[in-house]
Amino acid sequence: MIDFQTEELQSFETALIPGDPHLGTRYRWTLKGVRGAKLESILIGNKRFTSVEAIGRFITALNSPKSSTPPATKTRRAKQNSAARAALAEAGI
């Protein structure tokens, strides 16, 4: 959580994020996250801010071993669906 009294706030539009992602991407990272990590932000008045420290925490979380789960491939998803259907059929559902 951002501590607005001690952290260096930056508006979403001007925040220095590596790769300079689009503003829509920044909002998506805040609302939905990436691989379980969310970019922290706060709303002050009608303007959204993040902080240098929050950007650092977000990058660290993205690069931690726990968030390195690869995305589900079509093949993996199909196997999971088949297994779920079989379990439901076995249960009589």
For 24-75, how does the pLDDT look when each residue is reduced to its tens digit (9 = 90+)?
A: 999 999 999 998 899 999 999 999 999 999 999 999 999 887 655 666 788 8
Q: Is the pTM of this model over 0.85?
A: no
Q: Is 16 contained in some domain?
A: yes
With 0-12 / 13-18 / 19 or more C-beta atoms within 10 angstroms meaning exposed / middle / buried, residue 29 is: buried
pLDDT, position 65: 75
Give me the number of domains the chain comprises. 1
Q: Is 49 contained in some domain?
A: yes
pLDDT, position 59: 94
- The parent domain of residue 69 ranges over 9-91
Residue 76, pLDDT > 60, answer yes
Q: Is 27 contained in some domain?
A: yes
